Chains A and B, each alone.
Chain A
Amino acid sequence: MQIGVFALQGDFEKHERALRRLGVDTVYVNYAWQLSTLDAVILPGGESSTMLKLLDVEGLFEPLKQFATEKPIFGTCAGTILLATEVTSPSQRSLGAINMTVERNAYGRQLDSSIQTILPEKEFEDRTRPGELETVFIRAPIIREIRGGARVLASLEGNPILVEEGRHLAATFHPEMTEDTRVHELFLRKARKKC
């Protein structure tokens, strides 16, 4: 199994580190040709508008959209914005992999960034391990609406913060910035087609 981490910009090293701790090697993705060699990819945190522009430099947007129709993608923060079907504040292009509307920078500015300890949905605990989840929000987006097959695995103040739809997974927080590897483990199981 080969997992790619998009390395155009953002905290890709943190994802690489999280997966290395789980004993999984990753490759950094910067080119469209790499996609055919991969079983799943991660879109890291960073600036989503910058990533969109960088996806165009190498013509990665359409190939990635195609990839999403066959293989799993896991997005955190900016990656979640890219995975949505609709983006607001302001509106921008997205891959449309998960049926949701995401509002950029919805908590405000950096001073509104926070670390919260939450209790995930029981289903998340059942599929991984029980226990609270430490969630790091940095200029984070808010998932305003989910539709169709999208399902909530964790919420904060009534807003979904961890969502899956089929093979795809999206978090508005940064599991890669904590020592808790459960969210990455859940994605690895998707990559291995075990759920």
Chain B
Amino acid sequence: MYLDNDFRLKAGLAEMLKGGVIMDVTNADQAKIAEDAGATSVMALERVPADIRKEGGVARMASISKIREIMETVHIPVMAKARIGHFMEAKVLEALKVDYIDESEVLTPADEENHIDKRPFRVPFVCGARNLGEALRRIAEGAAMIRTKGEAGSGDIVEAVRHMRTIQKEMKQLTVMGKDELPTAAKNLQAPLELVQYVAEHGKLPVPNFSAGGIATPADASLVMQLGAEAVFVGSGIFKSEDPARRARAVVKAATYYNDPEKLLEACEELGEAMRGINTAQLEEKELLQTRGW
């Protein structure tokens, strides 16, 4: 019931983005820099996560004029973020014809119990997850792409690594379970049995599995790709760095040649200063973005 024709088309666009880098941008100039550097897609938002963290306030869907300006500037797919549970922001973004919606914990949640029912939408959704149960619940709601949440705006890769490792480990565990063990596994994961059975059979999610949240360097991108990410999102890491165009090119190269340390070395050598970053271990529980989402 989850994986119908409409769903194939939605997950299909995510397939096209594999091996690539999706970059957060806040205006048309940044979008152009990202496209010229080889980004496969851009994510339009009002403020990058590092600024949301610093400035506080309510973080909402980006202004329509900004998103439209970005859509008119680049030829690659344009994504935009909606608040968790804010299905009317999502409706607006669908009417605007963005290519993907990120129901994102980076924005201030609009609903503290429910996510958007994403199935009736024709535009595809990506959602964040910290573990397999969360990923499968989002897929059950209609998400056609999963990304790790990591800790957005921190420049600290540790949470993205934790989340990718957790998802991979939990998927591996399902593949060695007997059929009779899966209903209890589904109960424990708080996820639909049908999707748990899919993962047990295929050893992977029924949708592309990307990584986000704290990726700041080419080596970070390679690391999460090695751990099983099929593409990466880079948020504050690019436009909070010293030379965004160069860093963007280097991360693109690192995502494609994640298996080739020599190419990675080349990518690292081309760089200016990275974003300063925040050690996530020193953040208070209430300062974390990843705990948003249910």
Contact = CB atoms under 8 A, between A and B. Distances in A.
Given A50-B20, A90-B75, A139-B16, A57 B9 contact: no
A136 interface: yes
Given A109-B97, A110-B77, A110-B99, A46 B12 contact: no
A14 to B, nearest CB: 6
A111 B12 contact: no
B40 A9 contact: yes
A138 B35 CA distance: 19
B19 A57 contact: no
Contacts of A105: 75
A186 B94 CA distance: 38
B135 interface: no
Contacts of A14: 15
B124 interface: yes
A49 B19 contact: no
Contacts of B38: 49-50, 53-54
Interface string A135-147: 0101100000000
Interface of A: 7-14, 30, 45-47, 49-50, 53-54, 57, 77-78, 89-90, 104-105, 108-111, 113-115, 136, 138-139, 174, 177
Given A11-B15, A14-B15, A47-B76, 20 more contacts: A9-B18, A9-B256, A10-B19, A10-B20, A11-B16, A12-B18, A13-B15, A46-B20, A47-B17, A49-B38, A49-B75, A54-B256, A90-B75, A105-B75, A109-B77, A109-B99, A115-B9, A136-B12, A138-B13, A139-B16
- 9 smallest A-B Cβ distances: which pairs? A110-B99, A53-B38, A9-B19, A11-B15, A47-B40, A9-B20, A138-B12, A109-B97, A50-B38
Interface of B: 5, 8-9, 12-13, 15-20, 35, 37-41, 71, 75-77, 94, 97-100, 122-124, 252-253, 256-257, 260, 263
5 contacts: A9-B20, A12-B18, A54-B38, A113-B13, A139-B77
